[in-house]
Amino acid sequence: MDAAAVIGSSWICALALCAVLGDAFLPFIPSGSLVILAVLRTSQVDGAPLLLAAGVAVASFLGDLLLLNLARRGAPAVQRRLEHRPKLAASVERMQRSFAGRSSRTAAAIVIIARFVPAGRTVLDLAVGHSPDRSGFLRWSAVAALLWAAYIVSLGWLNSHWFDTAWLSLAVSCAAATAVSTVVARWARRRRVAVAV
């Protein structure tokens, strides 16, 4: 790769890591798509996918940690957000009930699944931040960050080798990531309804 391509790839990687960090606060940020784009731009560089996956995992965990601490301290911005969004506040309350008093194994499943569901990470971080019981959350958050990073980087890397053109690799990777998130969200919703019944 020439110098311009390296600089361009570095900017995309930095943008992807910032998006992963920020989507804990703003779940509409397309962090998965940006990570896939970064993978495609660096797929020819030896060791780049592993470094990118490590960076994505760290950024994901730090995003959880920051939002958790803000929620725990009752940051005014977080409180206003909950007050002005009744649906979000209801989701946070429901997640608190789901997470509180659960076995370690069940808590782990909730944290990991939330990372793969759109906005699930945000709701969970806010719920745990407002809950007195936070045991094991950071450990499982780190595991969830590693799993999601490995999944999203592998998805981009595999498609970069299966397809000849970058745009097709990006389109297929993003479509696959959206499909997986949708399936996980529907499965989690059904489980929640089944438990409620």
Residue 100: predicted pLDDT: 67
Contact status, residue 26 vs residue 125, Cβ threshold 8 Å: no
Q: How confident is the model at residue 56 (pLDDT cuts 50, 70, 90)?
A: very high
Note the residue count of the chain.
Answer: 197
pTM: 0.82
What's the N-to-C CA distance of the chain in angstroms? 57
Q: Is 154 left (phi over 0), alpha (psi -120 to 50) or beta?
A: alpha
Whole-number Å distance between alpha carbons of 108 and 85: 27
Mean of pLDDT values over 79-96: 76
Residue 61: predicted pLDDT: 95
Mean of pLDDT values over 109-119: 86
Residue 121: predicted pLDDT: 87
Tokens 């069940």 identify what position? 106
Check whether 193 has a pLDDT greater than 60: no
Whole-number Å distance between alpha carbons of 104 and 99: 10
The tally of CA atoms less than 13 A away on the side-chain side of residue 196 is 10
Residue 181: predicted pLDDT: 84
pLDDT, tens only, 2-41: 444 455 578 889 999 999 999 988 888 889 999 999 998 8
Task: Tell me which range, 71-80, 92-101, 122-131, 136-145, is most confidently predicted by mean pLDDT.
Answer: 136-145
Instruction: Give me the residue spans of the domains in the chain.
Output: 3-196
